[in-house]
Amino acid sequence: MNYGHFDDKNKEYVIETPKTPYPWINYLGSDKFFGLISNTAGGYSFYKDARFRRLTRYRYNNIPLDNGGRYFYIKDEKEYYSPTWMPVKSQLDSYECRHGMGYTKIKTMKNNLKTEILYFVPLGDNVEIHKVKIKNIDEKSKKFTLFSFIEFCLWNAYDDMTNYQRTYSIGDVEVEGSTIFHKTDYRERRNHYSFYSVNYPIDGFDTDRDAFLGQYNGLNEPEVVTKGESNNSIVSGWNPIASHGIKLELAPMEEKTLVFVLGYVENDKEEKWDSDNRMNKVKAHHLINKFYDEASVKEAYEDLKNHWNNLLCKFTVESHDDNLNRMVNIWNPYQCMVTFNMSRSASYFETGIGRGMGFRDSNQDILGFVHQIPEKARERILDIASTQLEDGGAYHQYQPLTKKGNHEIGSGFNDDPLWLILSTVAYIKETGDFSILKEDIPYNCDINNTGTLLEHLEKSLQFTLNNLGPHGLPLIGRADWNDCLNLNCFSENPDESFQTCDNKKGRTAESVFIGGMFVYIGKELAQLYERLGLDKKNQEVLSEVDKMVQCIEVHGYDEGWFLRAYDYYGMKVGSIENNEGKIFIEPQGFCVMAGIGIDNGKALKALDAVDQYLNTKYGLVLLWPAYGKYHLHLGEISSYPEGYKENGGIFCHNNPWIMIAETRLGRGDKAYEYYSKIAPAYLEDISEIRKLEPYVYAQMIAGKEAIRHGEAKNSWLTGTAAWNYEAITKWILGIKPDFDGLIIDPCIPKEWNNIKIKRVFRKATYHITIKNPEHICKGVKKVFVDGREQHSNYVAAFEDNLTHEIEVVMG
């Protein structure tokens, strides 16, 4: 069942009903000021950090679920309603929501009054624009009152929801003309405030939530709206809001546009107060004036669209498959940008309170983002590296506002350090910028203890070598990529977190998965050393890689597939010997990606086992069979019901590892089968089953042993976005950046004929045509560069600001 459709020309998804199976959201902002917005205008806004700089309030797991946001009410002589459907939920005569690249439009009509609201964050400004256009298409004039509504959060979202004995006494606002300033705590330690303004004279306002709603009313029936008159309330403590009351009259076919601006301002310490010792509003006035007229808003909106058009033109594909085209050209890179900005902090499944920027997560996110804005990727790599510990280990996350690591969601995940190598090499291959390796970076944010980025990478690899177990395989620590495989935890206390509780001491529990990672990423580091002319280091790394390959071949392979791990007692996990959890997806993916077992047939057997045991109509499950009871020695993974999350769910994050592995074996048909099973555009017709947005990836889909097989959870903020982009662009379509050029090595379905790809790489544009006359999956027979045949599929980087024609003939 469809709830909308793709508009590829405008790069939008058009939602045709407010009653989607779950709130279908979008993200506003691309730099510092961000917002989440649903198809009925739910969500919230924040500056940099969704925990410490939350501007507007949002209640997760609410009833109804998506209740609270950027709302408007229209009250005429007979009734009132919301032009965004929520929160009043009155029947509308028409409804359409368009989620685009960094903006959302909601168009509705009721009683011959057409309303169009455009929400977006302009480039370079810390404001969110709500442009409201209302047109009377009736034959008679219409009188009505428009009410705005946002609810301020008192900055720290955790305190805002927990520390009421304080927060109920600190709310502080100021009204100046048509602007409502939220200045809670400004008199004390804060130097920032927010505001909500409109470019029109107001007839009233409210800043007290209870005065606006009434003591016993909800957002669906505010007392102010029902009576049609603002109270002009000034809050003191309690719950600050911003609501404007504007009385309007429109003649037949008359149209009026109002611009509402939600903004954030930080003042320097010496400029905190004006000459009269009042809050300095100079920056706020500048922003209000900047977007006061419709023309300036239109210009900012066009700038935003052009910004995204420029980003998305850096890699495009033209094929026979519309779903492939829209995923590669629009929605997958767009999601990669969002995950780069958010990491795993703020979504409709992540509250913005519990998680910040993940060390592992953010490094992986760079893989799908680096080609869009390389300089931002560079900055992020340096930020991540500065939180690394001196022994090469890593905090599992850091807060975006402070950029300091913390243990709030645990540490000691032994895969973390290796990801820094992968993101750094990906950046250098994309840009050719080796200078990043010379950057002097702190350890643990201590400016008195530093090392170059290259030294950080060396420590990352050495951390794994310093933490090997009895079989020569990497120790798992608290966990590896699979946060829920807690082999040293042994938690019997339901009130403690698996990720933060004390681990048993010991150096026995090993991860075959990290071993595969070490081989794959170790080869990347070795290539880097070779390119730098560091032959001794290159050989040292390759020697350690060879040793790890031998350990995995001998101790990490078990009758048809790669083992998952050895537990605290030295027993096999992910083995045919186990009654549950016989086979896991992660080591099959990364070990084959690393080339392990390709020459001796073990890789082929492993991938055939994946197809036999893990494949379903909705994607590959993480393990099989799922655990039917809690196993103390395995941890959180066995605490989930069968078929959900890590316990046999379809973890979309690691499905692309199998896609990439299949391309290593030349099986393009299989790789593309797996790709199309989880790419959201292909699943639009089963939206009533999948439930989540059909334009972005979800982290997890319920597996074959689950009651709701095919139902997705945790959309938007997932490494799934970056890894699927990596799989489809570099391994299936086969356009791989390298230190000095592009390697073109497609692995596609046999039935495909011609594919056209545009790739902007460094300072040149490549128009690549792939021809498949023999209908094979893999193999390049001829390559023509600007009409001249060359004897390699390695196309050197031109960097001449010109366009080059590349023709690749498979065979």
Short-list 369, 311, 300, 352, CA closest to 47? 352
The pLDDT assigned to 305 comes to: 98
Taking the C-alpha atoms of residue 542 and residue 532, their distance in angstroms, rounded to an integer, is 15
The pLDDT assigned to 404 comes to: 77
- Over the Cα atoms of the chain, what is R_g? 28
Taking the C-alpha atoms of residue 714 and residue 335, their distance in angstroms, rounded to an integer, is 13
Asked whether the predicted pLDDT for residue 102 surpasses 80, the reply is: yes
The per-residue b/e assignment along 83-104, b for 16 or more CB within 10 angstroms, e otherwise, is: bbbbbbeeebeebbbbbbbbbb
The pLDDT assigned to 495 comes to: 86
The pLDDT assigned to 614 comes to: 99
Q: Which residues are catalytic?
A: 483
Q: Which two tokens stand for residue 291?
A: 């977007």
What DSSP state is assigned to residue 536? H
Mean pLDDT of the chain: 96
Over residues 340-349, mean pLDDT: 94
Q: At what angle do helices 535-555 and 512-532 cross, to 10 degrees?
A: 160
pLDDT in tens, 20-46: 999 999 999 999 999 999 999 999 999
User: What percentage of the chain has pLDDT greater than the value 70?
Assistant: 100
Over residues 111-134, mean pLDDT: 98
Q: Is the peptide bond before 625 cis (omega within 30 degrees of 0)?
A: yes
Asked whether the predicted pLDDT for residue 373 surpasses 80, the reply is: yes
Asked whether the predicted pLDDT for residue 313 surpasses 90, the reply is: yes
Length of the chain counted residue by residue: 811
Taking the C-alpha atoms of residue 586 and residue 609, their distance in angstroms, rounded to an integer, is 13
Between the CA of residue 352 and those of 153, 157, 416, 692, what are the distances in Å?
13, 8, 21, 19
Taking the C-alpha atoms of residue 78 and residue 80, their distance in angstroms, rounded to an integer, is 7
Over residues 457-463, mean pLDDT: 98
The pLDDT assigned to 774 comes to: 97
Taking the C-alpha atoms of residue 545 and residue 548, their distance in angstroms, rounded to an integer, is 5
Triad 373, 376, 381: Cα angle to 5°: 125
What kind and span of H or E run contains 409? strand 405-411
Query: Using 50, 70 and 90 to split pLDDT, how confident is the model at 766?
Result: very high
Q: Which two tokens stand for residue 475?
A: 């120790």
Query: CA torsion angle for 471, 476, 480, 486 (degrees, to 10)?
Result: 120
Lookup result for tokens 């931002």: 376
Query: Using 50, 70 and 90 to split pLDDT, how confident is the model at 186?
Result: very high
Contacts (Cβ under 8 Å, ≥6 apart) of 494: none
pTM above 0.85, yes or no: yes
Asked whether the predicted pLDDT for residue 780 surpasses 90, the reply is: yes
Query: Using 50, 70 and 90 to split pLDDT, how confident is the model at 49?
Result: very high
Kindly state the greatest CA–CA separation across the chain: 85
The pLDDT assigned to 397 comes to: 83
Which amino acid does the sequence have at 735? I
The values of phi and psi at residue 314, to 5°, are -75, -25
Domains annotated on the chain, with CATH: 4-309 (2.70.98.40), 333-604+624-650 (1.50.10.10), 735-810 (2.60.420.10)
Query: Using 50, 70 and 90 to split pLDDT, how confident is the model at 409?
Result: low
pLDDT in tens, 410-441: 778 999 999 999 999 999 999 999 999 999 99
Q: How many C-beta neighbours within 10 Å does residue 504 have?
A: 12
pLDDT in tens, 546-573: 999 999 999 999 989 999 999 999 999 9
Q: Which two tokens stand for residue 60?
A: 């997760």
Query: Using 50, 70 and 90 to split pLDDT, how confident is the model at 736?
Result: very high
Over residues 113-133, mean pLDDT: 99
* 280-284 contacts, C-beta under 8 A, 24 or more apart: 281/176, 281/181, 284/179, 284/181, 284/193, 284/195
Higher-pLDDT residue of 506 and 58 is 58
pLDDT in tens, 511-553: 999 999 999 999 999 999 999 999 999 999 999 999 999 999 9
Taking the C-alpha atoms of residue 525 and residue 521, their distance in angstroms, rounded to an integer, is 6
Q: Which two tokens stand for residue 770?
A: 């792939």
Question: Quick check: helix, strand or coil at residue 144?
Answer: strand
Handedness of CA 351, 356, 362, 366 (dihedral sign): positive
Over residues 749-773, mean pLDDT: 98
Which amino acid does the sequence have at 270? E
The pLDDT assigned to 663 comes to: 99
pLDDT in tens, 606-659: 999 999 999 999 999 999 999 999 999 999 999 999 999 999 999 999 999 999
Asked whether the predicted pLDDT for residue 355 surpasses 80, the reply is: no
Query: Using 50, 70 and 90 to split pLDDT, how confident is the model at 407?
Result: confident
Taking the C-alpha atoms of residue 351 and residue 572, their distance in angstroms, rounded to an integer, is 37
Query: Using 50, 70 and 90 to split pLDDT, how confident is the model at 282?
Result: very high
* 805-808 contacts, C-beta under 8 A, 24 or more apart: 805/767, 805/769, 806/744, 806/766, 806/767, 806/768, 806/769, 807/768, 807/769, 807/771, 807/782, 807/783, 808/744, 808/746, 808/768, 808/769, 808/770, 808/771, 808/780, 808/782, 808/783, 808/784
Contact 545, 530 (CB under 8 A): no
